[in-house]
Amino acid sequence: MGNYYDIAPELLYKAFAKVENMSAISTDKSNDPRTFSFESNTCLPSQASGLGRDGRRYGRTGTIHTPHGDIHTPAFIPVATQAAMKAVLPEQMKDLGAQALLSNAFHLFERPGEEVLDQAGGLGKFMGWRGPTFTDSGGFQVLSLGAGFKKTLAMDISGMKSDDVIAEGKERLAFVDEDGVTFKSPLNGSEHRFSAEISMGIQHKIGADIMFAFDELTTLMNTRGYQERSVERTFRWAKRCVIEHQRLTAERSNKPYQALYGVVQGANYEDLRRKAARQIASLDFDGVGIGGAIEKRLLGQTCAWICDEMPEDRPRHVLGIAAVDDIFAGVENGGDTFDCVSPARCGRNGAVFTRDGRWNIKRTQFRTDYRPIEEDCNCYACQHYSRAYICHLLHAHELNGYTLATIHNERFFVRLLDEIRAAIDADRFDEYKQETLKRFYANGSKG
């Protein structure tokens, strides 16, 4: 039985060689939109069980071209929320194979402020990262500051429908109206305002290669009526984002071109997801973000609904996904890139991902276990340190423990997507999916 360390080595070598060639990044400063493009390579064949129209499976390999380098897809995009991977340097992220990093526009607006990044030459230069970068729009904070919920694919919504719902122990800090969102800063309580135009202005100054239109992320507990109104509001905001994006691109003609993705919302409703996808497809976006809270059982189906309605020449980013089975469902049904904070957050808490499942390295049994986290892993942590040492560091709250666990987890997901890419090109995606999921979940692992 194969695993993601021995599949199609010659294809994998080529994939890694492309990533390692990041030193040859373009320094072209043209803001010509043609510096951003997407080209598709190998597509998964349709089959009777395909979730798309006429059995389509929208999974594919391809390349996203940006002013700061190429992203070979499907790919995992690690999250450097505040222009930093917690406890891990940009050079270490490059060494573990990351092709791009994603930062959060809301948090960078809070500190150090978008003007600081603009004066520094943009997000990549500010944090010493030479590859492509993404920023999300701040739409997620509408949910997290408003209803107080984290995004989850496992939310139980039975018997829970309310437009005023709020997480236990939370105060509502964000209020949505037609024009935008008013919110209180979680840092100091000061009041701020986000709108389509403000989000675009902030993201242009942050300077990422790929940014997202400002959207409203609802909870799965919102009523059908609210979801309908929210989809229409997100569409109106999307149109305003496109207009402002085009104005700022012309105004900032000395800056590299920044691509803009529209975000498709609609919760669990097929008709709303399809409608929202058609709305976003009608606008001049460079790509699409598949967003919103989604029940785990509907992740693949939701991606397929959206891809049914979208032009195939636009890249598709699935926001906030990192469970292993969800990654496969997302790829098979059209996801090109994926981001999530989970690998780093789990690592800092001692949870590590391996081909045999996810487990907690802080358990007593690992205190005298001198093997690497994973025998066949080629990450820096596994090549140099033992389970016992990392267990000790995490119990002692030593920052090196966060660094080593994060390096391993990020490498796991970066390499998983590299292996999936190689499997699609080698026409053995289905075999690889079955082998990997069977092994990973054999012992009832989470993630």
Domain boundaries, the chain: 9-349
CATH class of 9-349: alpha beta
Distance CA 394, CA 403 (A): 10
Q: Name the 3-class secondary structure at 438.
A: helix
pLDDT per residue as tens digits for the range 265-324: 999 999 999 999 999 999 999 999 999 889 999 999 999 999 999 999 999 999 999 999
128: left (phi > 0), else alpha (psi -120 to 50), else beta? Answer: left
Enumerate residues 6+ apart whose C-beta is below 8 A from 415. 4, 97
- Mark the ranges of the chain whose per-residue pLDDT is less than 70: 1-30, 139-170, 172
Closest CA to 166 of 147, 151, 150: 147
Closest CA to 196 of 291, 262, 128, 272: 262
65 has binding-site annotation:
no
pLDDT per residue as tens digits for the range 420-436: 999 999 999 999 999 99
Enumerate residues 6+ apart whose C-beta is below 8 A from 34. 257
Enumerate residues 6+ apart whose C-beta is below 8 A from 105. 114, 135, 136, 137, 138, 199, 202, 203, 206, 211
139 has binding-site annotation:
yes
164 has binding-site annotation:
no
Distance CA 115, CA 93 (A): 26
pLDDT per residue as tens digits for the range 155-195: 444 555 556 655 566 676 778 889 988 888 888 888 888 99
Distance CA 66, CA 336 (A): 15
Which amino acid type is present at position 128? G
Distance CA 419, CA 9 (A): 9
pLDDT of residue 17: 44
Enumerate the active-site residues: 136, 339
Report yes or no: 333 and 273 within 8 Å, Cβ to Cβ. Answer: no
Closest CA to 345 of 79, 22, 26: 79
pLDDT of residue 162: 59
Distance CA 213, CA 392 (A): 43
Distance CA 348, CA 394 (A): 8
377 has binding-site annotation:
yes
Give how far Cα 75 sits from Cα of 31, 88, 288, Å: 25, 19, 15
pLDDT of residue 115: 98
Report yes or no: 98 and 410 within 8 Å, Cβ to Cβ. Answer: yes
Distance CA 179, CA 48 (A): 45
Task: HSE, CB side, 13 Å, CA atoms: give it for residue 222.
Answer: 24
pLDDT of residue 174: 76
Give how far Cα 438 sits from Cα of 50, 148, 357, 442, Å: 20, 35, 10, 6
pLDDT of residue 408: 98
353 has binding-site annotation:
no
For residues 126-159, one letter each, b for 16 or more C-beta atoms within 10 angstroms of the residue's C-beta and e for the rest, the string is bbebbbbbbbbbbbbbbbbbbbbbebebebeeee
Q: Name the 3-class secondary structure at 248.
A: helix
**Mean predicted lDDT score pLDDT of the chain:** 89
Enumerate residues 6+ apart whose C-beta is below 8 A from 251. none
pLDDT of residue 77: 98
Burial of residue 125 (number of CB atoms within 10 Å: 0-12, 13-18, 19+): middle
43 has binding-site annotation:
no
Chain center to CA of 213: 15
Angle between helices 299-309 and 324-332 (to 10 degrees): 20
